[in-house]
Amino acid sequence: MKTTIDNNQRKFLVQSIGWGNIDIFCNLHDIPNVIKANFEPNDEFKIFEYWNRKLKVCSKKHINEMFNANQINYKIK
C-alpha cells in the first residue's frame, strides 16, 4: 500500500505485533484504509503518534475520539 504524507497534519505509525513486520506511516484519515488493506480482523497492531521526533502510543479510545472529532466514520474495536 502506498500512502502520501501531508506534513501539515499529524503523522501516525501503524505497527503490527507478532510475526509479521508491518510498519506504515500515514495521516489520521488514512488509518482506516491501512488497517483494512494490511490487517486481518483478528490481527494485533499498535498505533503510535509521531510528534517532536518521538513516538507516543495511542489508545483505542484516543484514536476513536480523534476519528469522531475529524468526522471519520470508523471505529477501532
Could you report the per-residue pLDDT of 4-31, keeping only the tens digit for each?
A: 888 889 999 999 998 878 999 999 999 9
Question: β-strand 54-58 against 23-27: which pairing, if any?
Answer: unpaired
Averaged over 34-61, what is the pLDDT? Answer: 93
pLDDT at 15: 95
Mean pLDDT, the chain, integer: 92
- pLDDT at 20 (0 to 100): 78
> Would you say the pTM of this structure is higher than 0.85?
yes
Contact 47, 14 (CB under 8 A): yes
Instruction: Check whether 55 has a pLDDT greater than 90.
Output: yes
Question: Where in the chain are the domains?
Answer: 11-69
Compute the distance between CA of residue 35 and CA of residue 44 in angstroms, rounded to an integer: 10
